[in-house]
A and B are shown apart, each in its own frame.
Chain A
């Protein structure tokens, strides 16, 4: 799941400064789960921004709020027609994808990000999130015992561990597990240690063209709605 973090209010204050009526737009999917941009955060941000306005003594903004089921699917954005009809800007608490999807739908309105989209990850426990996937488009988790060295190894090396591993921890931080030790231990548990002996050639990042697209259909007549 996508994990994001609230932006600093000062920064948001600057980006919204030129606009009067602002729609604070939440998203009911990933950012709700990670507590950065669901309905609760929308309401809290709304309050905080009003307080900031009051503190600055220039109550010039008017805030509206709304939380969509999911900002990254065009069909869910239909309600914006009405919700964003009379606003000067949209402050989206969706991830970077949400912000762009909304911008695409509202060609002549500024759409501003309200959160920093951080990574693809999972909850460790309440209030703690960890990165797990770099969306590299070339998954090798079968060979690394289900542990991604690209995100979980500080250096992202493919043939670890490096010489910096010590007592299972990474040289960068004693708090951090060495991903390659984790991989080793898991392979050992599964009796597949021989996989460690293999060499993985460096990947050619240049070969991956951006922006990527996933196609799961062929061009044929008929099908869904145009």
Chain B
């Protein structure tokens, strides 16, 4: 008698078990992402080499993943708890891997117009593009108005091409056009009334922050002084500004670094950055500072210009040295000039990159606040004018691409609410966020695996032109990097407390010593320490422990069910079923041909770590007439502890049962993959196939003799 593999166990009292709900936590990376992307999920898919699936997850949370894959400031990596063990997971680089290998460029975007209300978007930066994307998805006709000749806002006129190739932005714009968004470039909107007169029912203002802030020092208007955003805009639009031989950039943010690196690429031999605090306080991204230094930018810390004079064709910049004084209210130590430390530099061009502010045409009639930013209601993004919404840098001041994307998406939904007269619902989720640090003990027990980095262009090749500096991960590094994810918040839980016999198996088997006994004698599995290896789930004699995600609870049984049904139709003999780890070598695809090339009918049940294969999973296939079963783990590449040990324990137990039943125990085997090309595994498997074949033959003979 064969019942479905899943519906086997019944509840003691005949009542239905608690509903199969998701008890997972939102991981810290996702909580930190302004778009709330399901990072843990796509990183896991990348670890299995499932790039298409990973891309699908990414696309469901991000309208322009290829852009973020290049330039996102990845706040997720700052939140990554792997940092406590060694270093954070390279989430952005993994996204780029999934985007490029998953074929994001081929993805077709379509949208249908189902609503009559037209919406105008002012500004085509990431905020505007995202809003247009989601409004099209919601069925609204949209028009994007852009002052420049090119679309993309700072993506196009700010961020240099060596970090974000132009083609990436073009692809996204093309996709928007094919989704039916109307585009008006070279159109600076000066009045919103006009837009309403033209029949637009709502307006989203994302004009960014493009006006360079003034340094407030004497001589700032001298020829040869320009601001960073302007320099980058000119270069990005194909102009070749003549900057002379010596350039000095003032500022410590990403714009300053980009301006300096751009100057190098224009062939300027001497490029300095002046920053008034020390390296520790520098707001620019750490990797970018590193790259700039590698390329030959000279950063002078604790220096600020105080005066600029033009003399004999030189720009004489008088600077003063600083020291760090008392921390201010925000805890930042304020630079204080050191008396008498003035010195003068002779340069050809000074680029000031100390920040930008939005520049809003007076005709908009919307209220602005501190730093000329537009004031909005944070929940609805509404301004003081009915039907006018705003977001992105224009509201926050200079921020990031991903924040602008999030604002664009939020605006699209709030505009939809507004146009349909719906009350804006705050997006609520009752899923808790995983907080808390890893305990020292857990940190010590987690296997240390250093971060894999994608390849970078050699320094000497970088500054000649605007070629992209970072390349995409190769397949193997990506898979290995993705495996470093600790899978925060999807671990094991004692779901059926009533069944827990307090046997302490979980306490004893956990390789990370996570479960503990509290003062009352109750067993607790703290979710913030659990590493989701699944060993205790498979070892709990009461089956009280489950994985927090319902899909993971059923995963192996479902896959086995499916494979067994398909395999039953196959004629190839002997019929073998293997539980194969999907990570490591298997994720790289190296072993894809493994079972197809074999003579035998080898069928694979993909498992996410062999430590989750339970004894009854190993026994099941025999009942279906399968002649041999094997479990193949990823061996040395395993990112977890003890997996092989537990596979061996269970194999031992099932073999004993097989022997008692009268089935040769050798029909059940465990293999581990070797690190390189899987040849050893292939050979072992061939030997196993032969062994099973001869066992089959022997048992047929025995049967005949008996008859």
Cα separation A126 to B661 with both chains bound (whole Å) = 26
**A65 within 8 Å of B by Cβ?**
yes
Give the chain B neighbours of A196 by CB distance below 8 A. none
* CB proximity to B under 8 Å, residues A25-48: 28-29, 32-35, 38-41, 43-44, 46-48
Binds A, one of B44-52, B564-572, B614-622: B614-622
Report whether B1 and A51 are in contact in the complex, using a CB–CB cutoff of 8 Å: no
The chain B residue with its CB closest to the CB of A82 is: B14
**A9 within 8 Å of B by Cβ?**
yes
**A106 within 8 Å of B by Cβ?**
no
Cα separation A206 to B602 with both chains bound (whole Å) = 65
Report whether B541 and A41 are in contact in the complex, using a CB–CB cutoff of 8 Å: yes
* CB proximity to B under 8 Å, residues A165-207: none
**A interface residues with partner B (beta carbon < 8 Å):** 8-10, 28-29, 32-35, 38-41, 43-44, 46-48, 50-52, 54-55, 59, 61-63, 65-69, 79, 82-83, 123, 125-127
With A8-B660, A44-B616, A52-B661 already in contact, the answer to whether A33 and B541 are too (CB < 8 A) is: yes
**B9 within 8 Å of A by Cβ?**
yes
Give the chain B neighbours of A10 by CB distance below 8 A. 660
Give the chain A neighbours of B13 by CB distance below 8 A. 79
Provide 20 A-B residue pairs closer than 8 Å at the C-beta atoms, listed in order of the A residue: A10-B660, A38-B501, A38-B542, A38-B543, A39-B9, A39-B543, A40-B541, A40-B542, A43-B8, A44-B619, A47-B620, A47-B623, A51-B663, A52-B661, A62-B1, A82-B14, A123-B504, A125-B508, A126-B508, A126-B509
**B interface residues with partner A (beta carbon < 8 Å):** 1-2, 8-10, 12-14, 498-499, 501-505, 508-509, 540-543, 615-616, 619-620, 622-623, 649, 657, 660-663
**A201 CB to nearest chain B CB (Å):** 40
**A154 CB to nearest chain B CB (Å):** 28
Report whether A51 and B619 are in contact in the complex, using a CB–CB cutoff of 8 Å: yes
Which of A52, A61, A82, A125 has the most CB atoms of chain B within a 10 A radius of its CB?
A52
With A47-B623, A51-B619 already in contact, the answer to whether A66 and B501 are too (CB < 8 A) is: no
Which of A59, A61, A62, A127 has the most CB atoms of chain B within a 10 A radius of its CB?
A127
Give the chain A neighbours of B663 by CB distance below 8 A. 51, 55
The chain B residue with its CB closest to the CB of A27 is: B501
Report whether A35 and B1 are in contact in the complex, using a CB–CB cutoff of 8 Å: no
Cα separation A70 to B631 with both chains bound (whole Å) = 35
Give the chain B neighbours of A44 by CB distance below 8 A. 615-616, 619, 657
The chain B residue with its CB closest to the CB of A63 is: B1
In the A-B complex, list the 8 residue pairs whose CB atoms are closest, starting with the nearest: A9-B660, A38-B541, A33-B503, A126-B508, A32-B501, A39-B543, A51-B623, A52-B661
Report whether B660 and A39 are in contact in the complex, using a CB–CB cutoff of 8 Å: no
Add 20 more A-B contacts to A54-B623, A65-B10, A79-B12 (CB < 8 A).
A29-B501, A33-B502, A35-B505, A39-B499, A46-B8, A47-B619, A47-B623, A48-B657, A48-B660, A50-B2, A50-B623, A51-B623, A51-B663, A52-B661, A55-B661, A62-B1, A63-B1, A67-B12, A123-B504, A125-B508
Give the chain B neighbours of A69 by CB distance below 8 A. 12, 498
Report whether B501 and A59 are in contact in the complex, using a CB–CB cutoff of 8 Å: no
Report whether A48 and B619 are in contact in the complex, using a CB–CB cutoff of 8 Å: yes
**A60 CB to nearest chain B CB (Å):** 10
Give the chain B neighbours of A83 by CB distance below 8 A. 14
**A133 CB to nearest chain B CB (Å):** 19
Give the chain B neighbours of A59 by CB distance below 8 A. 1
Which of B12, B540, B619, B649 has the most CB atoms of chain A within a 10 A radius of its CB?
B12
The chain B residue with its CB closest to the CB of A12 is: B660
Cα separation A79 to B13 with both chains bound (whole Å) = 7
The chain A residue with its CB closest to the CB of B540 is: A40
Give the chain B neighbours of A61 by CB distance below 8 A. 1
Give the chain A neighbours of B10 by CB distance below 8 A. 65-66
The chain B residue with its CB closest to the CB of A70 is: B501
Report whether B542 and A39 are in contact in the complex, using a CB–CB cutoff of 8 Å: yes
Report whether A32 and B541 are in contact in the complex, using a CB–CB cutoff of 8 Å: yes
Majority SS at the chain B contact face: loop
Cα separation A62 to B503 with both chains bound (whole Å) = 31
With A28-B542, A38-B541, A63-B1 already in contact, the answer to whether A79 and B623 are too (CB < 8 A) is: no
Give the chain B neighbours of A35 by CB distance below 8 A. 503, 505, 541
The chain B residue with its CB closest to the CB of A10 is: B660
**A153 CB to nearest chain B CB (Å):** 28
Cα separation A29 to B499 with both chains bound (whole Å) = 9
The chain A residue with its CB closest to the CB of B659 is: A9
**B224 CB to nearest chain A CB (Å):** 76
**B307 CB to nearest chain A CB (Å):** 75
Cα separation A165 to B620 with both chains bound (whole Å) = 49
Which of A50, A62, A79, A125 has the most CB atoms of chain B within a 10 A radius of its CB?
A50
Cα separation A50 to B619 with both chains bound (whole Å) = 10
Cα separation A59 to B623 with both chains bound (whole Å) = 11
Give the chain B neighbours of A51 by CB distance below 8 A. 619, 622-623, 661, 663
Give the chain A neighbours of B657 by CB distance below 8 A. 9, 44, 48
Cα separation A67 to B619 with both chains bound (whole Å) = 21
Cα separation A41 to B660 with both chains bound (whole Å) = 16
The chain A residue with its CB closest to the CB of B498 is: A69
Q: In the complex, which of the residues B9, B499, B623 contacts A28, with contact meaning CB atoms closer than 8 Å? A: B499
Give the chain A neighbours of B2 by CB distance below 8 A. 50
Give the chain A neighbours of B503 by CB distance below 8 A. 32-35, 38
Give the chain B neighbours of A41 by CB distance below 8 A. 541
Cα separation A149 to B607 with both chains bound (whole Å) = 50
The chain B residue with its CB closest to the CB of A42 is: B9
Report whether A79 and B14 are in contact in the complex, using a CB–CB cutoff of 8 Å: yes
**B584 CB to nearest chain A CB (Å):** 27
Report whether A68 and B509 are in contact in the complex, using a CB–CB cutoff of 8 Å: no
Report whether B660 and A43 are in contact in the complex, using a CB–CB cutoff of 8 Å: no
Give the chain A neighbours of B660 by CB distance below 8 A. 8-10, 48
The chain A residue with its CB closest to the CB of B538 is: A40
Cα separation A59 to B488 with both chains bound (whole Å) = 46
Give the chain B neighbours of A29 by CB distance below 8 A. 501
Give the chain B neighbours of A127 by CB distance below 8 A. 649
Cα separation A40 to B542 with both chains bound (whole Å) = 6
**A4 CB to nearest chain B CB (Å):** 12
Report whether B12 and A9 are in contact in the complex, using a CB–CB cutoff of 8 Å: no
Cα separation A83 to B12 with both chains bound (whole Å) = 9
Give the chain A neighbours of B540 by CB distance below 8 A. 40
Cα separation A57 to B601 with both chains bound (whole Å) = 24
Cα separation A66 to B2 with both chains bound (whole Å) = 17
Cα separation A69 to B2 with both chains bound (whole Å) = 27
**B488 CB to nearest chain A CB (Å):** 27
Cα separation A194 to B503 with both chains bound (whole Å) = 39
Report whether B541 and A39 are in contact in the complex, using a CB–CB cutoff of 8 Å: yes
Give the chain A neighbours of B619 by CB distance below 8 A. 44, 47-48, 51
**A207 CB to nearest chain B CB (Å):** 37
Report whether A43 and B9 are in contact in the complex, using a CB–CB cutoff of 8 Å: yes
**A169 CB to nearest chain B CB (Å):** 27
Give the chain A neighbours of B502 by CB distance below 8 A. 33
Report whether B543 and A66 are in contact in the complex, using a CB–CB cutoff of 8 Å: no
Report whether B9 and A65 are in contact in the complex, using a CB–CB cutoff of 8 Å: yes
Give the chain B neighbours of A79 by CB distance below 8 A. 12-14
Give the chain B neighbours of A8 by CB distance below 8 A. 660
The chain A residue with its CB closest to the CB of B662 is: A55
Cα separation A32 to B541 with both chains bound (whole Å) = 6
The chain A residue with its CB closest to the CB of B661 is: A52
The chain A residue with its CB closest to the CB of B615 is: A44
The chain A residue with its CB closest to the CB of B543 is: A39
Cα separation A67 to B541 with both chains bound (whole Å) = 11
Report whether B661 and A48 are in contact in the complex, using a CB–CB cutoff of 8 Å: yes
Cα separation A63 to B541 with both chains bound (whole Å) = 20
Cα separation A44 to B620 with both chains bound (whole Å) = 9
Cα separation A148 to B253 with both chains bound (whole Å) = 75
Cα separation A9 to B620 with both chains bound (whole Å) = 16
Give the chain A neighbours of B8 by CB distance below 8 A. 43, 46, 65
Give the chain A neighbours of B505 by CB distance below 8 A. 35, 126
